[in-house]
Amino acid sequence: MVAFSLASAGVVVHIVALARFTADYGQLPFEGLGPSLSTLALIIGVGLIATIGLGEGRRVGIVLVPVVIVLEAVAVSLGLQPSSQTLDFQGAWFDLHVTLAFVGLGGLAVAFASGILYLVQLHELNLKRMGRLFRFTPPLTTLDRLVRVALVTGFTTFTLALALGWLWTISFRQSLDQSNPKVLWSLMIWIIFSVALVVRAGGGLKERRSAVASAIGFPVIVIVYLGLRMVSSAHGFFL
């Protein structure tokens, strides 16, 4: 209850702050790195509340809360102003595209946190000790359910986001710029989602494989994102 109240209070404050941003600048906080990261942090916060609704899921907060704090800290340090660049893709379809993509990334973040805790609990059970980590970490089945729900939700929304982006591109630009780092990054996220879902469709240690894929996938997309940002200065704007 305390965890739920604190997380809810944090999300409400965040929503109020971003609503003020929207009122001040006349646009949703989807353009510019600072506002985008802040919105992503908000969506991960909402994901945390959703996991708390699934009983022992509140413990994933131990991984998700630092992720949210880092994202918000980076967002604030970069400045919460809209991008000075004018985007071609704008309006309601753009807002829907970004919202769906962020919900997808939020899903991957929840799967990452749950996957890490799953592997920790599995390790504790195999170690045959009942230490503090064993007692703190939720049951395997709870964590596996969280991984599964987060991956399915994230994959679905991210796929829809990609579809919207693709539709817009082929409608207005006729072709997809495959060297655009944004496109490459999005495809990589989609592949990571697919791998995490495909490995849990098999038999044997499917839960562990899925947890490993989720636990690795999220850091990989963060690292790749940072790398692409460094090399993308030559290509102009990238998120």
Partner 1 sequence: MSPLSVVGVSHLTAPVGIRERFAFSSGEAITALDELRTRAGIQEAVLLSTCNRTELYLYPGSDVHLEAAEVMFAKKAGELVGGINQYLYRYDGSDSVRHLFRVAAGLDSLILGEAEIQGQVKGAYKLAESVLVQPPLAGPVIHRLFQSALAAGGRIRSHTPIGEGAASVASVAVELARKIFGSLSGRQVMILGAGTTAELVVGALERDGIGGLVVSNRSYERARDLAAKLSGNAVHFDEMPFALAETDVLVASTAAPHPLIALDGFRHAMGGGRARPLLILDLAIPRNVEPEVGGEANVFLYNVDDLREIVDDNLLARRASVSDAEAIVDEYADAFLRWHDARDIIPVIRNLRGRWEGVRRSELDRLLHRLEHLPADDREAVEAFSKRLLNKLLHEPTARLREGAGNGRAEEFIDAVRYLHDLKDTGPELAEESKQVPEGNALKDGEVEQEWTNTSD
Report the alpha-carbon distance of residue 117 to residue 140 in Å, rounded: 9
Residue range at the interface with partner 1 (CB under 8 A); choices 9-17, 88-96, 131-139, 147-155: 131-139
Sign of the Cα pseudo-torsion (42, 197, 100, 140, in order): negative
Question: Which of 140, 184, 188, 212 is the binder for partner 1 (CB under 8 A)?
Answer: 140
Tokens found for residue 126? 């195999």
Nearer to partner 1, 142 or 214 (CB): 142
Burial of 49 (0-12, 13-18, 19+ CB in 10 A): middle
Tokens found for residue 100? 């769906």
Q: How many CA atoms lie within 13 A of 72 on its CB side?
A: 18
Is residue 139 part of the contact set for partner 1 (CB under 8 A)? yes
Question: Which of 77, 85, 88, 135 is the binder for partner 1 (CB under 8 A)?
Answer: 135
Residue range at the interface with partner 1 (CB under 8 A); choices 14-22, 28-36, 95-103, 200-208: 200-208
The closest of 8, 84, 70, 86 to 37, measured between CA atoms, is: 70
Footprint of partner 1 on 6-65 (CB under 8 A): 55-56
Residue range at the interface with partner 1 (CB under 8 A); choices 27-35, 148-156, 199-207, 212-220: 199-207
Q: Which residues bind partner 1 (CB under 8 A)?
A: 55-56, 121, 124-126, 128-130, 134-135, 137-142, 203-205, 207
